[in-house]
Amino acid sequence: MRYLTDRKRAEGLGASGSGTHHHWQMMVSSIFLVPLVPLFIFTFGYGLGGTHEEVLAYFGRPFPALVMALSLIVITLHMMHEAKAAIEDYMHGVAGKLTLIFATAFYYTLIAAGLFAIARIAL
Amino acid sequence: MVRITGIASLGLALLVVWWLLAAATSAGSFAVIDGLLRSWFGSLVLLGATWALWYHMLGRLRHVIWDFGYLVQVEVSNKMGLGMFIGATVLTVITALVV
């Protein structure tokens, strides 16, 4: 007879070691994105199609700039968490760790590049 | 399908960030990516990406509803799946008309 409860035996055996937290993160960003995605689609849609000057003027306004920055951050982090889960599920060992680090760096770089562009246009 | 459309959204994110960076940099580099996105091929890609994003949003919403413990019956779930297809298509048409 083993003196461990079923829960104790199962704890820490998941691929990432933090599945509950990941699940909650995805719930939060998913719900937040339900109003944010339509805002992003229509904001970007209205921005696309103008001349260079019109585009600069459009994203210089507070509301479009804010929607773009907000959706860039939340969408990219949401994608990063999902990509991490996929890597944790299918890759292991050193290769898995290096891929995780590379993916994290890639998504943060994407956010930084986008924010830089929005800041430069808006300010 | 929700996963595939999620991956497709990464392509859209890259294009949008590229477009913004180019707009912030110079008129010349903006003209390149803007011309690409507004060509017939670019419009097709953006239309597909719009559908993918709408579909993914509805699919994720279904997961959230399931996670709260509602509508988990197979029959209802299948109906919601069909609704995601129809909903995403309707929303894409609306987007194309409005934008």
Q: Which helix (H) or strand (E) holds A80?
A: helix A62-90
Residue A99: is its pLDDT beyond 90? yes
Residue B68: is its pLDDT beyond 70? yes
Q: Cβ B16–A42 below 8 Å, yes or no?
A: no
Taking alpha carbons only, the member of A114, A100, A24 closest to residue A69 is A114
Please tell me if residue A68 touches chain B, with a CB cutoff of 8 Å. yes
Predicted confidence at residue B73, as pLDDT, reads: 82
pLDDT tens sequence across B11-46: 899 999 999 999 988 888 888 888 888 888 988 999
Across chain B, mean pLDDT equals: 87
Q: For residue A57, which residues of chain B lie inside 8 Å, CB to CB?
A: none
| CA of residue A34 relative to chain centroid, distance | 14
Domain B2-98 has CATH 1.10.357.10: no
Residue B99: is its pLDDT beyond 80? no
pLDDT tens sequence across A36-90: 999 999 999 988 888 898 999 999 999 999 999 999 999 999 999 989 988 988 9
Amino acid at residue number A111: I
Taking alpha carbons only, the member of A30, A39, A38, A33 closest to residue A82 is A30
Q: Does the CA dihedral A85-A86-A92-A93 come out positive or negative? A: negative
DSSP string, A24-65: HHHHHHHHHHHHHHHHHHHHHHHHTTS-HHHHHHHHHSHHHH
Average pLDDT over residues A98-106: 95
pTM of the complete model: 0.86
| CA of residue B38 relative to chain centroid, distance | 17
Crossing angle for the helix pair B40-67 and B27-38, nearest 10 degrees? 80
Please tell me if residue A101 touches chain B, with a CB cutoff of 8 Å. no
- Domain ranges for chain A, please list them: 6-122
Predicted confidence at residue A120, as pLDDT, reads: 93
Q: A6-122 in CATH: which number?
A: 1.20.1300
Residue A12: is its pLDDT beyond 80? no
Q: For residue A120, which residues of chain B lie inside 8 Å, CB to CB?
A: 24
Q: Cβ A114–B20 below 8 Å, yes or no?
A: yes
Across chain A, mean pLDDT equals: 90
Which of A30, A45, A52 is closest, CB to CB, to B30? Answer: A52
Q: Cβ A117–B37 below 8 Å, yes or no?
A: no
Which of B13, B23, B54 is closest, CB to CB, to A55? Answer: B23
Q: For residue A32, which residues of chain B lie inside 8 Å, CB to CB?
A: none
Q: Cβ B34–A52 below 8 Å, yes or no?
A: yes
Given the structure tokens 């990063």, which residue do they identify?
A80
Predicted confidence at residue B2, as pLDDT, reads: 78
Residue B72: is its pLDDT beyond 80? no
